[in-house]
C-alpha cells in the first residue's frame, strides 16, 4: 500500500482509498521482519508455530495516506476516498504480537514514522521514474466485479 500511494503521489495523483479510509492495517519495516525471521531460526521454542509479526499498532489507511502526502510535501493531494469496496477486503487487520514477544523476544525497532520518512527520502531521490499502474489495476478490479 505504501508503494502504491507513493507511486500515485510521485505522479501528482492523490492516493486512492477504498471504503471510508477508517479501515486499519499494521505496517512493519522490512528490516524488522527480517530480524524476526532470523530470531525464529535461532529459537527452537518457535519451531512449527504460527507467530504473527507486526507492530500491534493499527493505523487507518486515511491517516497513512495523509502522512505520506505530508512527507512528500504534497498538501494539494488529499487522499481520494472512493467509498468503493473490494471483494475479500477485511475491515481491520493488525498483529497480535504476544507470541513474538514471548517466544522470540521480538519487538519492532523501527517506528512507522521513521520507516515512512525513510521511504519518502529514498523515493524523493530515486523514485522520480515511478510508474503508476493503479488506474489500470482499478479498471481490472471493476471489470471483474471485485470493486463496487
Question: pLDDT digit string (tens) for 91-148?
Answer: 999 999 999 999 999 999 999 999 999 999 999 998 777 889 999 999 999 999 999 9
Question: pLDDT digit string (tens) for 70-88?
Answer: 999 998 999 999 999 999 9
Rounded Cα distance between 121 and 68, Å, is: 11
pLDDT higher than 80, residue 41? yes
**Fold designation for 2-143:** Rossmann fold (3.40.50)
pLDDT higher than 90, residue 50? yes
DSSP 15-49: PEE-TTS--EE----HHHHHHHHHHHHH-GGGTT-
- Rounded to 5°, the CA angle 62-67-72 comes to 125
Note the pLDDT of residue 13.
Answer: 96
The CA–CA distances, whole Å, from 38 to 27, 104, 135 equal 19, 10, 38
- Rounded to 5°, the CA angle 84-119-36 comes to 95
Amino acid at each position: 500500500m505504501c508503494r502504491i500511494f507513493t507511486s500515485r503521489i510521485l505522479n501528482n495523483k492523490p492516493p486512492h482509498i477504498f471504503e471510508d479510509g477508517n479501515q486499519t492495517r499494521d505496517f512493519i519495516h522490512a528490516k524488522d521482519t527480517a530480524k524476526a525471521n532470523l530470531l525464529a531460526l535461532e529459537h527452537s521454542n518457535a519451531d512449527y508455530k504460527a507467530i504473527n509479526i507486526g507492530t500491534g499498532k493499527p493505523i487507518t489507511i486515511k491517516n497513512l495516506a495523509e502522512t505520506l502526502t505530508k512527507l512528500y510535501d504534497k498538501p494539494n493531494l488529499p487522499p481520494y476516498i472512493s467509498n468503493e469496496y473490494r471483494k475479500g477486503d477485511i475491515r481491520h487487520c493488525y498483529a497480535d504480537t504476544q507470541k513474538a514477544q514471548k517466544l522470540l523476544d521480538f519487538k519492532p525497532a523501527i517506528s512507522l514514522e521513521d520507516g515512512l520518512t525513510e521511504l519518502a527520502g529514498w523515493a524523493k531521490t530515486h523514485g522520480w521514474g515511478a510508474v503508476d499502474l493503479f488506474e489500470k489495476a482499478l479498471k481490472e478490479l471493476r471489470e471483474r466485479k471485485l470493486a463496487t
